[in-house]
Structure 1
């Protein structure tokens, strides 16, 4: 589609409300998806780190118990 001016581009032939709201909703959805994915990934990494540390503490306690 060819537009004569920038204001015609923004007006989108009278459908600006639909077009720009669709772009806005899509961009917002993608940002929310990105944010939740990053948050979940960080939480999972922290859980794995905590689980590994707990297993190491348990093994250290078992080794200490075996030496007594």
Structure 2
């Protein structure tokens, strides 16, 4: 498939909305798969540090 202009490329023969939404959704899912575990790990480490400080203070 060849396009004569950049606007034709973006329109994708009338299917541009679906094509670009699909790409956007794919990128959003990939980003979420990277970000969510990182946030969960940081939350877990902070919780473990608080628990360790609490236990050291009790003894």
Normalization by structure 1: what TM-score?
0.64
3-state secondary structure, aligned to 2:3: coil
Runs of 4+ aligned residues of structure 1 deviating over 6 Å after TM superposition are none
Question: How far is 1:49 from its partner?
Answer: 0.6
What's 2:40 paired with? 40
In 1, Cα distance between the equivalents of 2:30 and 2:47?
26
Larger radius of gyration between Structure 1 and Structure 2: 1
What's 1:22 paired with? 22
Q: Which has the higher contact order (CA 8 A, sep 6+)?
A: 2
Normalization by structure 2: what TM-score?
0.71
3-state secondary structure, aligned to 1:3: coil
In 2, Cα distance between the equivalents of 1:2 and 1:49?
57
Question: How far is 1:23 from its partner?
Answer: 1.4
